[in-house]
Chains A and B, each alone.
Chain A
């Protein structure tokens, strides 16, 4: 792709082309905030930008940032930053809630932990709350729940759990229904049969933890089946009676799905009579003895038997959304993940068949949910289910072995869409100080270390990074170990893009630990050929210098894209060289412009050598292998001309140089000079003569040339003696180099001691004399284009055709 940005400066372009810019620059010279580096005032960032910055941070980091100065403290309270609050990691007493209150005006979602916290929630004064999710609220009372509902009338979702809340009575639930007319989802509150009637809008209710409750299933079923808007009901892990369930299934008009996993009574009934729940009138019953995937797939018209197992993925991938269906599927995800996690934790007997046939697959499928808490529960469920002994780090061989196919299939999916688990791993970051999920860390870690070929490596990395992230606050001693193992896994892994994603949050969390464990070694992605030198890009500049290849396979570093400072340059250069070495490259060219001269010592330290320099740059080279350097050396010669100009009166044009060795002071010599870059010898000769003497001439022939060594800058020297024909006679001396110039009779010129006593000068003059007497023929210039390189060049040669043997004299 060609770069389409062209740069031109006003200097070269002229101001007239740019009439608009001038006023706008001169009008605001003072607040042009980006002119010098001293103008970097982070606190002068626009408010919106700072709010954006805050939104990328966790509460703890937000608190730190807002404690730095007044203006940021003020901005940290912006309502848009406080739409969602997760207090699960904190003890939320009334004081905390009061302290937070002024920020929570626009709070929409709240998660907390513990019944005490529930009582404090009202002090947040967050009247617009839409979702409340409380964990570990076993002791929540009627009074607390009633107040919660009364103060948050806009509630749409209320989830209290996962433990059974046995102190809640039907009165409280009735109160909730009265206060919160918009409630669409109610999780985990034991509701008596009658209170549910009060929920007027379409509800997806769950009823958890009924085991020892006073609920009379038969009467509950009667009341529930009359509920006009009850769409989904979850009675999993309860003692729901077969009669109640079949009654619900057969008589409720609104109910669409009933989830009854792990209900002993139902399973027993099923074993006796497999048709016990057949009269369900298109309702969906999800239980241990049903095929869950098939059941859920039956909601969709267009999912065939072959991709039933992908039903969740299919649904998530849909572009057209259906609100009712989405609600239903999200509810399924939530209920299933919750229930499976509990089942994995309590590990009831006789479940092996279920796990092998569908439980694991369900969890694997749920782990990719869009709902964060579903992901979290499913992933923790997986780990809990597989790792049977935390202390000895044992993985159940039957469980992982038996479901090999599932794992492998899942792993394959992961390879295709590695983002899913990577996100999960990254998700650990935001939960890293969450006590609720912390216990899973060691299990994740054990799984990550399992030598189980069926686990895809990318999966392992995700596990390891999740474990690592979760361990950060808890087991600093194991951090290094985790980082090292993570690195080890990464080395096997070819999916570097995935790795980057998975490790990004980890690296950001604590780069120094990773650095300690990571050998300095570049990695290369096989996917797209891009080079990621370090997966931990945040701690090191993880990229290779921009460069192209020359025709001989040498690397030519692009001088326009060098890093901005020497420090970055040093690390990138080091990485780049190792990378190029790996690729089998040999020579490296580094052209450092004058304004980047600070990089010269860095390059030299890395092993670069000077090649040559010009006014505007210095060229350095690096030869990678230990063999002798095969790079072409710098130019070895300088080229000069001497002009032999003689007029019709046999006078020679001579000069006296200003700065010459005292031995030749006062001597009259032929005008000489150097040929410039991209200049032909014949034009160089004409130019030099004109510059030094003001005489216009015409090139005739090269009559001789002389090679010497160790002249200027220890280079060799080629001097071409050119015969020139004068076109003018008026001498104008250039005062800079030349003292004087004149036409001198040939004889007088030759008689000078400096000519007579010098073999070379004498010989040159002899040749010129011979040329004048047509006894000698020089080399004339001929232009031609060679196919060899397609370039116009000049060939100096002596004409060989017989008719031209007599040279044209002057």
Chain B
């Protein structure tokens, strides 16, 4: 690798923090990959990532970095790494990761995050889920009754 200069790009989070990463790492995000391709020139090094804060972005890049070099690892190694990675995220970070993986188009991360959130939901009642995610119940009583009927088959 001596003498081969790695292509670097700079990502700028919404709060203005710059992250200098290898191009191949950044390209785990389709959003960035497209942005780089559209630009046509490789020299377009500064890419703003709106709506993603530095905290989230650093976590996202941790994922990208691992997956950019996925070929170096065995499949189950990556799987285990993923598991550990997502396990570390608390609920708020999960939310930000989901938002970021959507806006940056990182499918793998979105799936991973969704799976983790699903594991939190599993077995909980609607009310418990509302409390978990701080969701406001915006159904009218009539609607609620209708939904209860509709879902009846599931609870028999």
Contact = CB atoms under 8 A, between A and B. Distances in A.
Interface of A: 1, 4-10, 13, 17-21, 24-25, 28, 31-35, 37, 40, 42-43, 45-46, 48-49, 52-53, 55-61, 63-70, 72-73, 90-92, 96, 99-100, 419, 497, 500, 504, 508-510, 528, 530, 532, 537-538, 541-543, 563-565, 568
B156 A91 contact: yes
Please report whether the interface of chain B is mostly helix, strand, loop or mixed according to DSSP: helix
Interface in B128-156: 129-130, 133-139, 143-144, 147-156
A494 B156 CA distance: 41
Interface in B85-141: 87-88, 90-93, 95-96, 98-103, 110-111, 114-115, 117-119, 121-126, 129-130, 133-139
Given A9-B16, A42-B95, A52-B111, A67 B138 contact: no
Contacts of A530: 80
Most buried by B among A67, A537, A565: A67
22 contacts: A5-B65, A7-B17, A9-B17, A13-B18, A18-B18, A21-B16, A24-B50, A25-B15, A31-B51, A40-B134, A45-B98, A45-B99, A49-B98, A49-B99, A57-B121, A61-B122, A65-B121, A69-B138, A530-B80, A532-B80, A537-B84, A541-B88
A542 B88 CA distance: 8
A120 B101 CA distance: 41
Contacts of B125: 64
Interface in B64-94: 65, 69, 76-77, 80, 83-84, 87-88, 90-93
Given A5-B58, A564-B90, A543 B84 contact: yes
A43 to B, nearest CB: 6
A6 B87 CA distance: 24
Contact of A63 (B77, B93, B96, B151): B151
A57 B139 CA distance: 22
Nearest to A23: B48
A46 B16 contact: no
A500 B83 contact: yes
Contacts of B133: 42-43, 68
Given A25-B48, A43-B135, A46-B103, 11 more contacts: A7-B58, A20-B12, A21-B46, A28-B50, A57-B122, A59-B154, A61-B118, A68-B129, A70-B138, A99-B152, A508-B122
A24 B46 CA distance: 13
B13 to A, nearest CB: 8
Contacts, number: 203
A42 B114 contact: no
7 nearest interchain CB pairs? A56-B118, A42-B133, A96-B153, A67-B126, A21-B12, A63-B151, A52-B114
Nearest to A58: B122
A34 B51 contact: yes
A25 B156 contact: no
A100 B115 contact: no
A56 B135 contact: no
Nearest to A93: B153
A67 B114 contact: no
B114 A49 contact: yes
B87 A35 contact: no
B104 to A, nearest CB: 12
A768 to B, nearest CB: 56
A34 B56 contact: yes
Given A5-B19, A57-B121, A500-B80, A20 B151 contact: no
Most buried by A among B76, B99, B114: B114
Nearest to B125: A64
B18 A53 contact: no
Contacts of A73: 139, 147
B151 A25 contact: no
A504 B47 CA distance: 38
Nearest to A97: B153
Nearest to A19: B46
B30 interface: no
B42 interface: no
B53 A42 contact: no
B72 to A, nearest CB: 9
B31 to A, nearest CB: 13
B25 A4 contact: yes
Contacts of A63: 151, 154-155
A91 B124 CA distance: 22
Contacts of A46: 99, 102-103
A37 B102 contact: no
A7 B150 CA distance: 52
Nearest to A100: B153
Contacts of B58: 5, 7
B110 A92 contact: no
A124 to B, nearest CB: 12
B54 to A, nearest CB: 7
A70 B84 contact: no
A568 B15 contact: no
A508 B86 CA distance: 14
Nearest to B81: A530
Contact of B93 (A68, A497, A564): A564
Contacts of A568: 88, 90
A579 to B, nearest CB: 14
Nearest to A25: B14
A28 B154 CA distance: 43
Contacts of A8: 17-18, 20
A42 B153 contact: no
A99 B151 CA distance: 8
A60 B129 contact: no
Contacts of B84: 537, 542-543
B36 interface: no
Given A32-B14, A45-B95, A64-B125, A5 B21 contact: yes
A53 B25 contact: no
B32 interface: no
Nearest to B98: A49
A99 B20 CA distance: 53
Contact of B53 (A35, A58, A532): A35
A542 B87 contact: yes
A61 B88 contact: no
Contacts of A508: 119, 122
B80 to A, nearest CB: 6
Contact of A69 (B88, B98, B139, B156): B139
A511 B58 CA distance: 30
A419 B74 CA distance: 13
Contacts of B53: 34-35
B121 A32 contact: no
